[in-house]
């Protein structure tokens, strides 16, 4: 594991990379830093440090693809992307039908080929297919800076329907953890922007940070961030799909709370594109929807608890 000074240095280099680069350039920087290796020998440090930094800087990379491929036990070269489930979902993004794959999902970036996991009866299969055979659309949507690509289509698979692949559930779990860290990072920046504004903006002869109504919104935002962080901590401590889902639900809900309060504190300027806040609000809205939104995950979780009449155990002391 990466500890002490090494961890600090690792974190600092990742932060610096995310502050300077985005997209393909950030992927290159991460390759130079050996981030993908770190992913295998200290998954927690690699995922938590990078995704918090990426969220805080509001930049993009293919790190999520790496995380999913790692959880699926597949190597990933830089010409291959991993197909993510469509907005709001977490089932495998394809179904196998005879010798064909029906694909529908999202990509973090357009690459020459894609690794796609498909449901095939009770099993899941994985295949690498050419992107050219699929319909792709660069998403503008609510957050054009995220650069997602929508992918749709039917492909014939050369080698039957690919190999059997295990661990989709684990890939979903690790993906959720990574996105939760990114949500926490984005929340921290949104909160810092709102704090700065509250201290600078003067009304009635004093900074609005003096007003309790404003202070309490910022305090609530911090409580929300620390809540998400605590659950993430516990999810790493007690790693399983259920704790990962709880972390994602909590991080999504917290980030939405942060976005709402910070936008209110920033008021008019926070509703314009002249201030950076809107980018973080947009990013939070999209990240909340990847691998299940907080609302859907929470309801699903409650249904599961009510059906089984059992609660998850609390993280041990």
Partner 1 sequence: VQLDEFRTKFDDWLDQHADELAPSFSGGGTLDEQMAQIAKVRHLTFDAGWARHGWPEQVGGLGGPALLRAYLSEALTARDLVYSGVYSLPEVLGPSVITFAPELAATVIPPLLRGDEVWCQGFSEPGTGSNLASLTCRAVRTGEGWRVTGQKVWTSLAQYAQRCVLLTRTGTVESAHRGITALFVDMDAPGITPRPIVTMHGEEEFCEVFFDDVLVPLDRTLGEVGQGWAFAMDLLPYERSTALWQRAAFLHRRLRDVLETADASLIDPAKLGEATQLVYAFRARSRATLHRMANGETLGAETSIDKVLLATAEQAVFDLVAEALPAAVVIGDDPVSARWRAEFLYSRAATIYGGSSEIQRNIIARRLLELGNDR
* Footprint of partner 1 (CB under 8 A): 195, 198-199, 207, 209-212, 215-216, 218-220, 222-223, 226-227, 230-231, 233-234, 246, 249-250, 253, 295, 297-303, 305-306, 309-312, 314-317
Cβ proximity to partner 1: between 92 and 292 the closer is 292
| Least distance (Å) between residue 235 CB and partner 1 | 8
| Least distance (Å) between residue 298 CB and partner 1 | 4
**If DSSP states are collapsed to H, E and C, what string results for 161-189?**
CCEECCCHHHHHHHHHHHHHHHHHHHHHH
Interhelix angle 212-237/241-270, nearest 10 degrees: 160
| Least distance (Å) between residue 257 CB and partner 1 | 11
Cβ proximity to partner 1: between 248 and 278 the closer is 248
| Least distance (Å) between residue 246 CB and partner 1 | 5
Nearest alpha carbon to residue 85 among 46, 124, 132: 124
Rounded to 5 degrees, φ, ψ at 240 are -160, 165
Cβ proximity to partner 1: between 28 and 227 the closer is 227
Cβ proximity to partner 1: between 226 and 274 the closer is 226
CA atoms within 13 A on the CB side of 3: 1
Q: Tokens 């992913």 sit at which residue?
A: 39
Cβ proximity to partner 1: between 140 and 216 the closer is 216
| Least distance (Å) between residue 252 CB and partner 1 | 11
* Distances from the Cα of 224 to the Cα of 49, 245, 248, angstroms: 19, 17, 13
């Amino acid at each position: 594991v990466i500890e002490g000074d090494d961890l600090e240095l690792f974190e600092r280099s990742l932060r610096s990379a995310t502050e300077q680069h985005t997209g393909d350039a950030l992927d290159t920087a991460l390759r130079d830093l050996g981030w993908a290796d770190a992913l295998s020998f200290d998954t927690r440090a690699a995922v938590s440090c990078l995704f918090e930094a990426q969220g805080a800087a509001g930049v993009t990379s293919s790190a999520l693809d790496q995380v999913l491929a790692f959880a699926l036990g597949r190597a990933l070269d830089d010409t291959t992307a991993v197909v993510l489930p469509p907005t709001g979902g977490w089932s495998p993004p394809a179904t196998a039908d005879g010798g064909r794959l029906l694909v529908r999902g999202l990509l973090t970036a357009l690459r020459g080929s894609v690794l796609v996991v498909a449901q095939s009866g009770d099993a899941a299969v994985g295949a690498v297919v050419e992107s050219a055979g699929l319909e792709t659309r660069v998403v503008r949507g609510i957050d054009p800076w995220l650069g997602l690509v929508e992918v749709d289509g039917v492909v014939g698979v050369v080698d039957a329907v690919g190999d059997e692949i295990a661990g989709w559930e684990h890939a979903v779990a690790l993906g959720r953890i990574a996105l939760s860290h990114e949500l926490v990072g984005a929340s921290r920046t949104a909160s810092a922007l709102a704090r700065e504004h509250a201290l600078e903006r003067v009304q009635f002869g004093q900074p609005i940070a003096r007003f309790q109504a404003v202070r309490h919104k910022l305090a609530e935002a911090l409580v929300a961030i620390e809540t998400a962080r605590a659950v993430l901590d516990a999810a790493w401590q007690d790693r399983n799909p259920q704790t990962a889902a709880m972390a994602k639900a909590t991080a999504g809900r917290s980030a939405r709370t942060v976005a709402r309060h910070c936008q209110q504190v920033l008021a008019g300027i926070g509703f314009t594109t002249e201030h950076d806040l809107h980018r973080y609000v947009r990013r939070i809205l999209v990240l909340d929807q990847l691998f299940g939104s907080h609302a859907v995950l929470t309801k699903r979780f409650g249904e599961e608890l009510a059906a089984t009449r059992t609660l998850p155990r609390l993280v041990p002391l």
